[in-house]
Structure 1
Amino acid sequence: MKSVKFILALLFCAVFFGFTTGNKKDEWKHLFNGKDLTGWDTYIGPDLDNNGKPIADKPIGLNNDPRHVFTVVKDGEEKVIRISGENWGAIITKSEYQNYHLQLQFKWGALSWGQKKGKHKDSGLLYNSVGKFGADYGAWMRGQEFQIEEGNCGDYWGCAGGMADIPAIKKSDTAYVYSPTGTLTEFSQQSKQGRHCIKLGDGENQSGQWNTLDLYTHGDTSVHVVNGKVVMVLYNNRQLDNGKVIPLTKGKIQIQSEGAEVYFRNIQIQPVKQLPAELVHL
């Protein structure tokens, strides 16, 4: 359990310094090559009705994308990943990662579908993803979600057994908000708090503009950063697996399709030996 001094240091540095890598030398690896989806799998769950209920018993499945939900398109002079949102699913890295700084940029398109039509546009960055495809809502692997949703970018969701402890303040019977000075609280499907914690503040740019997300994960701690603002810190990342609670500190990376058109670019990752020093030292 982290000390109050450590947590306050996180907040101080987030506000005044932003977030940079803990490495002395950048070692970025591009996960999107700017041309195609090499290095990624696609997975699409069952077709859904407008209430989010499955129409078919079987998912559309692995690397089967008849509606071209996941494509690479031109945006000005560069190529970017377009996720249409028409089906629920994800692109998923073929490799697993642990102890890293992941950075990507996203912006919203105009389209929305099904039960999400006319609502906040929705996607998500799922990390430490393990287990079977389609474990959560028939569309996503188990993991920890860095929410990408209009107005809620940076929230935490535990997917298909993902669990974490988060310093939070209770706002209502069903709403908890991350706060560096809050009470360390378990968020999981089994806990009375549920598996969702709301981010601190709002760091997202206006819809249609590019946003930069930084995810830091080292050991069992992870940090969500939206346009340079720390909005969520997770401790004791773990999972419920066949009735046993075990660590959840590495896995694949998923980027969701969840009812909204969204674009991604500049997806890159580098290893870290620790969380950035400026986060823990005033």
Structure 2
Amino acid sequence: MKPMIAILLAALVSASFAGEEWKPLFNGKDFTGWSFDTLDKAAPETIWSVADGVISVGGKDKPNGVMRTEKSYSNYELEFEWRWPDSGGNSGCLIHCSDPRLMNVWPKSIEVQLMKDNAGDFWEIGEAIEVTPEQIAPPGKKGPSRRRLNLTDGSEKPMSEWNTMRVVAKGNAVEVFVNGTLVQKGWDASVSEGAICLQAERANVQFRNIRIKEK
């Protein structure tokens, strides 16, 4: 029953953007339209590279960093593919980004998690978003958790296979789909506009087919 509901929701969301056109955020050749921020002032080219239409993030044993769109966006549908080329690790897509380096090198934002087996979790980075009470992770030693658990398990593909993520941001609501399944839904976010970032978080990860449809 749940998969059928997710499919119907996906169809309804797609219909709301049907009159708009997809635009690439990554041209498949270079990093036009993106900027970089890394800890320790590490040179971006030591972490990020492009070949055959794929962004390779060589984050393993390297400082944390982000690649960030030069433009800000609101009311959009974002889609991209990602995979772990060798072993699972940690990365994320940060949406509605504003102040840089609010936490570590991460800007003030809402993170849509890409960590292996946790894709679709929200992490609040200086912002807030409402979810159901059971999705709020238990508090830790440092206080309330910033993690908001996703709705499903098993939506990700096996290691080294390409996954597709779709993030639908409408006003102060955000929905996340992984490989066509609704895995996260939040509302009353404290922010509704900002840049989009992809993390380098001490793991090797690849991205391709990054595109956006603005409403």
State the TM-score, normalized to the length of structure 2: 0.88
Structure having the larger proportion of residues in helix = 2
Cα RMSD over matched residues? 2.3
Structure 2 unmatched runs, 5+: none
Q: CA deviation at 1:14?
A: 1.3
> SS where residue 83 of structure 2 aligns?
strand
Residue of structure 1 equivalent to 2:175: 223
Paired position in structure 2 for 1:146 = 112
How many matched pairs? 208
The 8 Å contact of residues 136 and 149 in structure 2, kept in 1 or not, is answered as no
Corresponding residue SS for 1:109: coil
Unaligned runs of 5+ in 1: 1-9, 47-59, 112-119, 176-189, 239-247, 273-282
Between the aligned partners of 2:164 and 2:34, the Cα distance in structure 1 is 21
Residue aligning to 2:156: 204
The aligned counterpart of 1:121 is 89
- Work out which of the residue numbers 39, 47, 66 in structure 2 matches 1:45: 39
SS of residue matched to 1:236: coil
Deviation at 1:122, TM superposition (A): 0.5
2:121 paired residue number: 155
Identity, in percent, stands at 28
Match of 2:133 in 1: 168
- In structure 2, the partner of 1:25 is 19
Give me the whole-angstrom Cα distance separating, in 2, the residues matched to 1:35 and 1:69: 16
Give the aligned partner of residue 88 of structure 1. 64
Which deviations, in whole Å up to 9, do the C-alpha atoms of 1:57-89 show, x marking residues without a partner?
xxx17xx42x6201102xxxx321111112201
Question: Is the contact made by 2:137 and 2:147 (CA closer than 8 Å) also made in structure 1?
Answer: no
**Highest relative contact order (Cα 8 Å, sep 6+), 1 or 2?**
2
Instruction: Read off the aligned partner of 1:135 and give its amino acid letter.
Output: L
Q: Residues 43 and 104 (structure 1 numbering): CA distance in 2 closer, same or farther, change over 3 Å? A: same
* CA apart distance, 1:26: 4.0
Given the alignment of the two structures, is residue 265 of structure 1 paired with residue 195 of structure 2, yes or no? Answer: no
Match of 1:35 in 2: 29
Tell me which protein shows more strand as a share of its residues. 1
The residue type paired with residue 200 of structure 1 is L
Q: Deviations over 1:204-231 (max 9, x none)?
A: 1111000000000011101111111111
Confirm or deny: 8 A CA contact 1:109 1:260 kept in the other structure: no
CA contact (8 A) 1:45 1:134 kept: no
The correspondence of residues 88-107 of structure 1 with structure 2, limited to 5 A, is 88-107=64-83
Shift of 1:11: 8.5
Cα displacement string for residues 223-277 of structure 1 (whole angstroms, at most 9, x for unaligned residues): 1111111111111111xxxxxxxxx1100000000011011000000113xxxxx
1:130 matched to 2:98: yes
CA spacing shift, 1:174–1:15, aligned 2, 3 Å? farther
Normalised TM-score (structure 1): 0.68
Is this contact kept in 2: 1:41–1:91, CA < 8 A?
yes
Deviation track 1:147-193 (CA, whole Å, cap 9, x = no partner) reads 0010100001011x111111131687449xxxxxxxxxxxxxx9x64
Shift of 1:92: 0.2
1:195 aligns with 2:146: yes
